[in-house]
Chain A
């Protein structure tokens, strides 16, 4: 029986696919989802505070605005790979370990949260101030304005912001391999680049492209549905 090398290739390809790519995809999705959720838990309030404390807004407070703004800028200017390493002691104290997928989430959150704050800030600033004044003229409190005016009126823009954030977090997860976080990006480096497995490289890229497409389309569709 002649030896069919192409068959062997196909078998190794599918075996590798199952063995490597499926868990890596799972790791990526886990890191992206968890980081985005936690980044919003921190970044959304931060973005709201940046807006309402800005001059001429409902709770102007130059000191708070400037301090938070500076903090956000500092964190955003630190390259992610540096942050990843620099945060190792902090990560250890938060999740108990500094390596692995869960450990990668901590620096991802710290890096994405200030980004989220700015994205949220720009969405909320799209709400015309006249609408806020109309609410003020009805006797709305700052809390009511945030809950009933700012957030609902900026909903579509905020959703688009979530899509933008999620997609940038996907990019950052590629570096998670540095701390043993795994994921598709790490796989592409380890196998696709270091071991010349172009096939794996291509598959990871295709999967990433598909994930990005799905997230962006979902975001756009949802935002359109929320725009009246």
Chain B
């Protein structure tokens, strides 16, 4: 649905040139919820703004629904933008218009007849669950309600793509979840492709199918969410993952454990149906080792389960080796945090 090819964005100022996007290529498939995560200043906002050319790339291509946006005339670009909805961290609703009038706004711009507008606005109010707020003004709404209006407005012209620029960053955790659920529903109901810019891994964990990690203007890794979470390649990705799945052991505990003989500490990660297997029982029955559970968590990555278990395994080198062999045979990802003495 969206192909970004060798995108570069530079800003020139008197202080010199700043490279905001450094040769980024991405392929975003139709129906994906594609998360782009990065720290502030990493270039993620610039990247999403290049996707509808609010920011004009210095070089490279942005192809949306088969159209290279960088080659379009102003008029064609305006037409193409009606196929790309966008929502913002600070909502940017028109304060002088009611909720219904805000949702009608993109339709007025597209030149849709009045009668059709009022029908479409009703549908959209229903979609985002704001039927009772249609004649309220934005100033009378809560943050979550404002973002619902933003979503309805962005979807008014039935776009194929929805860009979300930190859409939940100004919301409290509960409201964030309800907005994310709404986005997931829309993605499933309408087959909409969603690109989400965020600095919160929680958002990615909750709804994204794919993720790209952007750091210092470059994409450092990308892929399906499950594989990035299970096998992060970069430090920055590991840092982001640890914000939602903290699994660092306290330093003094590690120190104390390091004095144990014939003991090693392993972290086991499991995904999907593996999460419901009785791993420890099986391990202890099959291999002659003892296990001490240090840390465990189970959560979900979108709709699949994702678990982490940190164990201290006690046994002689041969027994530990056998334990590893067993875990590998169960297709579990095992990482040794501290080797046996």
Contacts and interface: CB of A to CB of B under 8 A. Distances in A.
B171 to A, nearest CB: 16
Given A133-B54, A228-B137, A228-B139, A138 B94 contact: no
Contact of A137 (B86, B96, B110, B138): B86
Given A137-B52, A137-B54, A144 B92 contact: no
Contacts, number: 68
Given A133-B54, A137-B54, A139-B79, A144 B109 contact: yes
Interface string B87-129: 0101011111100000001101110000000000000000000
Contacts of B97: 152
Given A149-B94, A153-B94, A155-B96, A134 B108 contact: no
A128 interface: yes
Given A136-B54, A137-B86, A138-B82, A148 B105 contact: yes
Main secondary structure of the interface of B (DSSP, over half): mixed
A193 to B, nearest CB: 47
Contacts of B140: 228
Contacts of A138: 81-82, 85-86, 105-106, 109-110, 153, 157
A134 B153 CA distance: 10
Given A130-B88, A133-B54, A134-B88, A140 B96 contact: no
Interface residues of B, number: 31
Contact of A152 (B54, B77, B85, B96): B96
A153 B92 CA distance: 12
Interface residues of A, number: 20
Contact of A153 (B78, B88, B96): B96
Nearest to B55: A133
Contacts of B225: none
A140 B137 contact: no
Contacts of B95: 153, 228
A131 interface: yes
A140 B54 contact: no
A154 to B, nearest CB: 9
Contacts of A221: none
Nearest to A129: B92
A226 interface: yes
A155 B96 CA distance: 8
B194 interface: no
B84 interface: yes
Given A128-B92, A228-B137, A139 B54 contact: no
Interface string B61-88: 0000000000000000111111011101
B81 A131 contact: no
B81 A139 contact: yes
7 contacts: A131-B92, A137-B163, A138-B86, A138-B157, A139-B79, A139-B80, A155-B96
Interface of A: 128, 130-131, 133-141, 144, 148-149, 152-153, 155, 226, 228
Given A131-B92, A228-B138, 5 more contacts: A128-B90, A136-B54, A137-B84, A139-B80, A228-B140
